Chain A
Amino acid sequence: MSEAILHTETTELRAPAQPEAVASPVADELGPENERLALERTWRRPPGFLGWLTTTDHKEIGLRYIKTAFGFFVLAGILALHMRVQLALPKNTFLTNDVYNQFFTTHGTAMMFLFAVPMMEGMGIYLVPLMVGTRNVSFPRLLNFSYYLYLIGGICLFTGLAFNMGPDMGWFAYTPLSGPQYAPGHRMDLWSQMVTCVEISGMAAGVEIVTTVFKQRAPGMSLNRIPIFVWTQLVTSFMIIFAMPAITLCSTMLSMDRLTHLKTHFYNPAEGGDALLWQHLFWFFAHPEVYIIFIPATGFVSDIIIAFSRRRAFGYTALVLSMVATAFIGFGVWVHHMFATPLPRLGQGMFTAASLMIVVPNGVQMFCWLATLWSGRRPRFELPLVWVIAFIVVFLIGGLSGVILASVSVNVQATDTFFVVAHLHYVLIGGAVFPLFGAFYYWFPKWTGRMLNTAAGWWHFALFFIGFNLTFWPMHHLGLRGMTRRRYTYPEETGWMTLNMVATIGAFLMAAGVLVFIVNAMWSRRRGRVAGDNPWQAGTLEWATSSPPPSYNFLYPPTVRGREPLWEPEKEAPVIVGLSREKRQVLSTTVLDAAPHHRYDLAGESIWPFFLAFGVAATLMLGGIFNPWYVPGGIAVITLALFGWFWTSPALRERPSAQPHVAGQPRLWWLGRRGKSADVKSKDE
């Protein structure tokens, strides 16, 4: 890294300014207004429908992800309400078994694949570039592609449901039930191809985040100064990159078993396949999936707690390391979903130990949050913090019922009952949705420039919190009273009615809470109180720009001298100058220390990612559902779209002439002394 690759015009850069100039970030002779106009011209998306379709702005696509995922959350929630009505009374006839099975499968699939993971990715796509102080993600077109692929997958699932072709074998789709013999028709084909689409999209987003975090951090943001939310996104993205191939593989194998033209027998015991293979592959993905959803949520929690207790995180290193540990151990506990299967007892004991071990890093995290709250300023009870406190309460219950489920002996009684339904909703709603709502209240001002209404916010909170506990607490009892999951009906003599009725009432309270939130968001984005740049006086970089941020994020990309850059006593930090105004250029920095390394031109808008998403989706859907001979044709389309994509990419067009090597130490282009970041770093440790 001693050699920087610089563009020719680097030599025309102004020499590093004198220390006095540091006080004024307005360091360009054109003046900030001209700078602003020039940047706006370069970074705004082209006008019109085509521009809307092809946009590569991480903020726009991030918000699209968030809105789309929220839409799927609402749809899947409506399905859940139907299920709750059906179960409120014994022998109820509100839904038939066929419809009920489609509903619970679609509910689980949509909540996991279409809401939770994409929502966290959306939050990351919006916030990570702002938090690390750059102007866009590393591969903006890939972002565009991944969004459309996700959208197509989601639309396919719900279109299938609308045409009575919704999957009906559970979101876990155990073979042989989901195989060709017991699930004829195209319901499960559609499911497995939808899963593949969404996971490919997820991997693209994961790669995006990893490169952005590794290579585009603001100078000075060494690894030990990365905001915790950005850490969570980084760790999660690595988990996505390792876990998603497992599900993509196993859903593709399922499709091959099912396709009449291929008729493989991966999961068919009658032909030497193995039904258990599916469970191993599926849970090897699906357990980490839980942490893929939960870890970003801990990032919301950490950042909100830091902002509200008004102190730097207690145990920053411990928080980060425990998150990394959770990610690693998360890949080693999948068999606890299979304790009732005839696997060797000793091996199961190992997985009990691993499942209990994962409590330790999560406990460390919890202790660090409590210590931060304890030793910070006395917090103001505003909505983001209130949701985080509720998270601590609810998630703790979910974590503790998880400890109960880690025991093999208890697990064989509790598994596949409503006890697990209660547990997983306490963990996933408690662990992800509560922090997510907190995050909405926290970052909504950044997205829209306006605050969410507080009174409506409290109603939302009260309805949701009470409704949630009314819905899911009784399910612990139902499970211990023998009520198995995924049943569309139950006889009266089981004595399960009262608790089911309570749960149904709670579900409607929750739904009312969500409705209040939707109305609040619609109203507040136009008429809410104006927020200003930094309504919470928080310390991370996304608050250093206007609300909502301009298309280029920062007029002068910032540099960083501490973990909470905006809390540093020296308010006027040096900024980066010398990036092109005419091209979409960002500064690439080194992985460990975030020292400036080279400038990097980002690709602009292009229609090809959109075509590619359609090509991939059509190949998977047609080839995976109807006839594998569509695949070669699809590959031709994909190749064409890839050619189009890269043909118009600036990297390919301009590389040869514009990148002479400049020997020697990398020049520090921001207005500061060489080696300054190292000084400040030592102070942190």
Chain B
Amino acid sequence: MNSPESVLDPAGPQSRQIGGLTWLFIWTCVIVFFMVMGTLVGALAHRRKDQAMGPSREPITHPDPIRERRLWTTVWASIVLTVGTLFTLLFADLLSGRAIHKVSQSPDPLRIQIIAHQWWWEVHYIDWPARFGERSASNGITTANEIHIPVDPAHPVTVEFELDSHDVIHSFWVPNLHGKRDIIPGHPTSLWLQADRPGTYWGECGEFCGYQHAQMRLVVVAEPAEKFQSWLDGQRQSAPEPTGEMQARGRDVFLHASCAMCHSIQGTDAHASVGPDLTHVASRKILAAGAVPNMPGHLAGWIMDPQRIKPGTRMPQNNLSAGDLRALLEYIETLK
């Protein structure tokens, strides 16, 4: 049973801190559980003093005061132990809260804005450390459902997510990296994290947000700095011009069918922002916020009948001729 999204399989300092704390709590609870169970078994099974005279059923209305006092001593000891344990746990929680908070003091973060929608994630790279290239007004990145972040053991890069929602409450959660942060309309917030182990980490929407809450996933690709650099450079390009007749026809389909009413492709006339930006859609791993993997067959199915794959999604059905669809797919394949 391999579960990639485990909170106890941390890939960053925040989740590692939380993971350690979780284990502390779990083991404390295990010990307490067995102590109480031992007492319970003892209470039920131990030999009573008066049993020698046969099992009496007479109710005890006036218990022996000396024995009662002795029992009270035990009970008080247990209460003191309980309170002590609770204080220890409280203290551990406060300390790790501070440790988690510390990472947010990085002066030069990678800043990513996330706008959660029913049911996908709009991702904007707003700013990044200077070593990944100069940031200017025109070269911001817009993508969807897939976030790349650098892993650099020598100079750890802190990522600041600026989270907002314009419809309902969502919650941003990548279990391997950090805990959830609810995204409440009217309460923009931010979350800071780092990744220290390269890998592909799944994220989920953590707060119930309607019909497709289950299929509002995202993927975080933590990769070495050089790879991140090349990804970033690639994402900063506009879409390539179509080569060949099929691709040109595909772009026409995109611009003149209903696609361009919601989606945008940088370098074309499509600038709508209702749905995800598709400038580099072919480079992504997933479609429809994780409902299906990004493969041509799935893409075709998704374009023609999204309601079948993700009932309730805001994307409408499209009636394209077979030729148009093939051309469109061929064009989209070039949007690396």
A residues within 8 Å of B by Cβ?
Answer: 96-98, 101, 169-170, 174, 176-177, 182, 269-270, 274-276, 310-312, 314-315, 318, 338, 340-342, 345, 349, 352-353, 356-357, 359-360, 363-364, 366-368, 370-371, 373-379, 389, 392-393, 396-397, 400-401, 403-404, 406-417, 480-491, 493-496, 498-499, 537, 539, 562, 564, 567-569
Contact = CB atoms under 8 A, between A and B. Distances in A.
Contacts of A495: 1-4
Given A274-B186, A371-B43, A484-B205, 16 more contacts: A174-B208, A177-B209, A182-B167, A359-B82, A363-B79, A368-B75, A371-B71, A379-B44, A397-B33, A401-B29, A403-B28, A403-B29, A408-B93, A484-B214, A486-B214, A496-B3
Contacts, number: 262
Closest 10 CB pairs of A and B: A412-B179, A482-B5, A269-B186, A487-B214, A311-B60, A342-B189, A481-B3, A400-B29, A495-B3, A373-B43
Contacts of B312: 97-98
Contact of B211 (A101, A352, A364, A409): A101
Nearest to A364: B79
A374 B171 contact: no
Contacts of B1: 495, 498-499
Nearest to A397: B33
A568 to B, nearest CB: 7
A378 B51 contact: yes
A98 to B, nearest CB: 7
Contacts of B214: 97, 484, 486-490
A410 B215 contact: no
A311 B63 contact: yes
A378 B7 contact: no
A567 B72 CA distance: 24
Interface in B180-225: 180-182, 184-187, 189, 202, 204-215
Interface of B: 1-8, 15, 17-18, 21-22, 25-26, 28-29, 32-33, 36-37, 39-40, 42-44, 46, 48, 51, 55-61, 63, 67-68, 71-72, 74-75, 78-79, 82-83, 86, 89-90, 92-94, 96-97, 100-101, 118, 167-169, 171, 173, 175, 178-182, 184-187, 189, 202, 204-215, 290, 311-312
A349 B97 contact: yes
A275 B186 contact: yes
A490 B205 CA distance: 13
Contact of B171 (A373, A378, A416): A416
B165 to A, nearest CB: 9
Given A562-B61, A564-B61, A480 B7 contact: yes
B86 A360 contact: yes
Contacts of A356: 86, 89-90
Contacts of B186: 269-270, 274-276
B212 to A, nearest CB: 7
A176 B167 contact: yes
B33 A569 contact: no
Contact of B208 (A274, A349, A373, A486): A486
A310 B208 contact: no
A182 B206 CA distance: 18
Contacts of A275: 169, 184-187
